[in-house]
Structure 1
Amino acid sequence: MRNMGGEQVEEAVASAVALLRTATDRDWQTARAGRLEWSCRYTAEHVAGVLIAYAGQLAGRATETWVPFEITLDEGTGNEDVLQVVETSGALLAATLRTTPREVRAFHPYPFRSADREGFAAMGVVEVFLHTHDIAEVLGPVYEPPAELCADVLARIFPHVQPGADPWRTLLWATGRGDLPGRAPVTEWRWRNNLVVPAGRLALQGVTPAAATDLAAGGDGGFAWVGGGPFQGTRDAAGMLLKAYQAGVHRPEWGVFVLVRREDGRAVGGMGFHGPPDEDGRVEIGYDLAEAARGNGYATEALRALSAWALAREEVTSVFATTEPENTASQAVLARAGFVRVAAQDAEGTEQFAYELRD
């Protein structure tokens, strides 16, 4: 799986700065950047400020709010100098990304109040892409960022957006900067970093479409698994998530989570929903563990936490699960998590036990 990190930030900054250097002789101070209310000069300064702010969040391990600082350019700084600041800020973010452990999360407000290093990398790339587009739109140069990198950021922080044939045009549409045939105009948007649910000794980390693509293809999804993982059920669930994403119906908070052990950052299993709650408020949940992680109570801890998270949502009235009659280990997990057996049901010719948990 191609990771999102310092290399991608450097690639985005280099392509943007190279293009904008062809227009440094233009008036950036009074020209308004695209559809923004900002001048081209202020927009370029904003890019530099965002990149250094993201580096600060990760380096300072800020978890509650933004680190309270900003950059201020010296009086008389010219357009070329602003681009040098953008390059420097990009280099600092790239260096921070390379030295930040995978499990570190820092504050970002949208939508679950935190992001990991890949999330900050993806947001940094998008800031560079979009605001370079805004500036170039008025100054004249034609801007076309790398398609693969556009697809990468869409699959990480726009999981709710159906992918399109042209990733750059899809990104512009998703951020209210363009039109796509058959899709309504976007007037308000936010990116969506993955949800993480704390679960005792574990952290349940939401799987992005990018990670699901790799898991479904036999990869590790960017996680460090204990021996024997991931189990096939996790790969199958990733495939279902990927189909929903491609169809434009994926709701990230009702997707798949990887169970990551806090003590060493190792992934021990997968757990997730079969989709969003139905019209009766029932949501179905499933799970599996890598063989090397079984017998330690991880599934019970994770099931309690994710079920509690679901039942705290206004649209959920019950959490539902099924298991084969011979799978006594799974039945014990459900019972320890507070589920009650409600019925036996026939699924594709196979009898299964059904369990339910209500608030």
Structure 2
Amino acid sequence: MARSAKHVEPFAGGGEDAWVTNTNAGTVPTGAPRVRLVEMTEPVLVALKEGDTSTAGKLVGAELGPHFAEEEMRWLSGYRLDQLRAVPARAGWLTNVVVDADDGRAVGHAGFHGPPDERRSVEIGYSVVPELRRRGYARATVAELLRRADASPEVVTVCASISPDNAGSLATIAGFGFERVGEQWDERDGLEHIFERPSPLPGESARG
């Protein structure tokens, strides 16, 4: 489970075993779905905090299933809403709805835990709707997050923190250039391994 210092934002999925190279984004499953990230703006976060998936869905242009009305999602939306209102400059560096680019359905949520810090580092987090896991959405989402980070001149490092027992999450980030650099103890999740990746990877030029 990947999380920031204050909030759980679980990684999910992973475990596929056929990969192809994707420039600027590491590796993605062969035949992986295409995803796009739609920012959860303040009105979207307000609606989701209240469990109003109908309004939120209209705002993001995708139908949001029951997953988006669950208590954890409502809590996360409120948490991110408070962050955004406290520092409006965080816009664009928080949570997004993950949408299947081909059929338009919402398949999860993903984003960064905040804008680049003093180390010019960002941490990624995402969750795939349970019934849609193990279909390639997890790695496709990580690839899109890394593409965004790699395109930003503000970012030089991308981080992920994962429990050593979370085999799915470890499989998900494999092949994207992450290396384990340390560990931390999380009050809710226990031991987590910390992974980092240069942004962009050496030899890549995502920033033009």
Same fold, TM-score > 0.5, yes or no: yes
* 2:160 counterpart (309, 315, 321): 321
Q: What is the aligned partner in structure 2 of residue 202 from structure 1?
A: 35
2:50 counterpart of 1:217: yes
Which aligned pairs between 1:29-40 and structure 2 lie closer than 5 A?
Answer: none
Deviation at 1:229, TM superposition (A): 4.5
Q: Is the Cα–Cα contact under 8 Å of residues 36 and 144 in structure 2 kept in the other structure?
A: no
AA of the residue aligned to 1:354: I
Q: Is the Cα–Cα contact under 8 Å of residues 68 and 74 in structure 2 kept in the other structure?
A: no
Which aligned pairs between 1:187-266 and structure 2 lie closer than 5 A?
Answer: 201-220=34-53, 221-222=56-57, 223-226=62-65, 228-229=67-68, 234-266=73-105
Change (3 A) 1:258 1:224: same
Distance in 2 between the 1:333 and 1:233 partners?
Answer: 22
Distance in 2 between the 1:310 and 1:230 partners?
Answer: 28
Q: What is the aligned partner in structure 2 of residue 334 from structure 1?
A: 173
Unmatched segments (≥5 aa) in structure 2: 1-31, 201-208
2:135 counterpart of 1:296: yes
Change (3 A) 1:306 1:233: farther
2:187 counterpart of 1:354: no
Distance in 1 between the 2:67 and 2:38 partners?
Answer: 19
By percentage of residues, which structure has more strand? 2
Distance in 2 between the 1:275 and 1:309 partners?
Answer: 13
For the residue of structure 2 that corresponds to 1:254, the secondary structure is coil
TM-score by length of 1: 0.41
**1:207-244 C-alpha deviation (Å, 9 max, x unpaired):** 11100111122232224135645666544432222102
**Larger Rg: 1 or 2?**
1
AA of the residue aligned to 1:352: E
AA of the residue aligned to 2:164: P
* Larger RCO (alpha carbons 8 Å, 6+ apart): 2
Change (3 A) 1:229 1:326: farther
Distance in 1 between the 2:110 and 2:94 partners?
Answer: 9
Identity %: 35
Distance in 2 between the 1:237 and 1:290 partners?
Answer: 15
Q: Is the Cα–Cα contact under 8 Å of residues 51 and 70 in structure 2 kept in the other structure?
A: no
AA of the residue aligned to 2:86: A
For the residue of structure 2 that corresponds to 1:225, the secondary structure is coil
Unmatched segments (≥5 aa) in structure 1: 1-198
Comparing 224-233 with 338-347, which one deviates more in the overlay? 224-233
Change (3 A) 1:267 1:323: same
**1:306-340 C-alpha deviation (Å, 9 max, x unpaired):** 11211221111111111222221111111143322
Distance in 1 between the 2:129 and 2:90 partners?
Answer: 26
For the residue of structure 2 that corresponds to 1:224, the secondary structure is coil
Distance in 2 between the 1:335 and 1:227 partners?
Answer: 30
Q: What is the aligned partner in structure 1 of residue 113 from structure 2?
A: 274
Distance in 2 between the 1:323 and 1:231 partners?
Answer: 23
Distance in 2 between the 1:206 and 1:301 partners?
Answer: 17
Q: What CA RMSD, in Å, does the superposition of the two structures yield over aligned residues?
A: 2.3
Distance in 1 between the 2:95 and 2:122 partners?
Answer: 13
